[in-house]
Structure 1
Amino acid sequence: MSDNGGPSFQDCRSPAKSYSTSELKIVRRRFSVRMSFINQDTESNPSVDKSTPQHSRRCQNGRSPKLKESVMTGQLSVKERLTKHNAVLLHVDHQEGLYTGVRDIATLELKHNVIGLTKAALALGIPIVVTTTTESMWGPMIPELAAALAKHDVIERTTVNAWDDPRVVRAVQATGRKHIIVTGISTDVCLAFPAIAALRDGYTSYAVVDASGGFSQIQVDLGVARMVQAGVVPVGYSTVAVELLGDNAAPESQAVYAGLGIPFSNMVFGLKQYWQSSAQAG
């Protein structure tokens, strides 16, 4: 129970649904159909050298290793690296009602990751755009994120895909940055839809999978697979933050690691402060 007597987020959680063999067969069949179209396209493509060992050697799923690499890497082929100078963070639909349905990650861990990424972005001076959908239906933004972004305007919209709201697009465009880091509840909709849409509009999209959550594990898996096939780059909350930091000697480094709340980094900084105070005392 929560402090006000109502149900807490943890009270609303239930064990993840187990899927039957027949349901899993349907998913595998759909993937097989999609892969068959990819294989047919490869066979009919005159630019593919079919005499090479790469073409004759097939992966278990029927794709050539070369084709598999091109599908899985997507936007990793871009020349410009992700930095704190070219990135913008987009938070989508981190709302109380939606959090009660998350099943692939513990609620407290999800909040920890979202807030950690947000604090790291603030420390690095990275622009943050935040949007919610139909708060009368899905509730307000979670209080922890609202507190961290107290000085930011929240764009409340009605569209399912955040990228379909012109205000969201304009807010991202106003930053002048072309690398967009996206989080969302749920992973397969509120994260995947805008990440893919931004990609089509010329952005390099990064999906922060562990700062997002889905209503079942299979929905999350399918959402991530769809994003990767489209060219979105999947990342973790702390991984993308330290990539943005770039240099542990940077003046923002301690604030970034403190914001991320990684246990080992907290211990390292604690030891650093201890040795510094010991040296001064001696």
Structure 2
Amino acid sequence: PIVVTTTARDSMWGPTFPELVEALPGIKIIDRSTVNAWDDPRVAAAIEATGRKKLIIAGISLEVCAAFPAITAIGKGYEAYVAVDASGTFSDTKREAGLLRMQQAGVIVSDYATLMVEILKDNARPEAAAVYNALDMPWATLVGQISKAYGKQSAAA
């Protein structure tokens, strides 16, 4: 399940990125005024309604939009993972401070591809190829090509 939220879409911060809306057809985007997404009762209820205890969080601003709800989630007994490379920042200093703050609070910081592969768990699953293709990782493609070429050489020997 996916919970998507935005802040002050019709006033202060402007519309949600059209690319995000397009990528998430049928997903309701909760517009809120609170800085910490978790402080909006609709967002908190939507997260709780998923029944999940492990959350992957990303935000426009790593140090605010991702960090605040991730830290709150930890305090409420969830496991919070933040996809660092799926989150933006306002400066390197803010990014580093946000990372430190989250780590001190017990948030697990990672990159999106590692989190997706961790969820996959087993490369024998039928959807494994689709997951790796969606991740668009050139090194994974290279490893696959090397493996395929090596397999052909071994078969010929």
TM-score band (shorter)? Answer: 0.7 to 0.9
Name the counterpart of 2:151: none
**Matching of residue 134 in structure 1 with residue 46 in structure 2:** no
Q: Taking CA–CA contacts closer than 8 Å with sequence separation of 6 or more, which of the two structures ends up with the larger relative contact order? A: 1
Alignment size in residue pairs = 148
Structure 1 residue 144, shift from structure 2 partner: 2.1
TM-score (norm 2): 0.87
Counterpart residue type for residue 122 of structure 2:
D
Name the counterpart of 1:192: 67
Structure 1 residue 185, shift from structure 2 partner: 1.5
Out of 128, 132, 144, the position equivalent to 1:253 is 128
Out of 29, 36, 42, the position equivalent to 1:154 is 29
Distance in 2, Cα, partners of 1:272 & 1:152? 39
TM-score (norm 1): 0.50
Larger radius of gyration: 1
Q: Aligned to 1:128, what secondary structure does the other structure show?
A: coil
**Matching of residue 165 in structure 1 with residue 35 in structure 2:** no
Uncovered stretches (5+) of structure 2, i.e. residues with no partner: 149-157
Mapping 1:9-48, distance limit 5 Å: none
Distance in 1, Cα, partners of 2:88 & 2:137? 20
- State the superposition RMSD in angstroms: 1.9
Structure 1 residue 260, shift from structure 2 partner: 1.0
Name the counterpart of 1:176: 51
Counterpart residue type for residue 127 of structure 2:
E
Distance in 2, Cα, partners of 1:145 & 1:260? 17
Uncovered stretches (5+) of structure 1, i.e. residues with no partner: 1-126, 274-282
Mapping 1:1-282, distance limit 5 Å: 127-135=1-9, 136-267=11-142
Counterpart residue type for residue 21 of structure 2:
A
Percent identity, please: 54
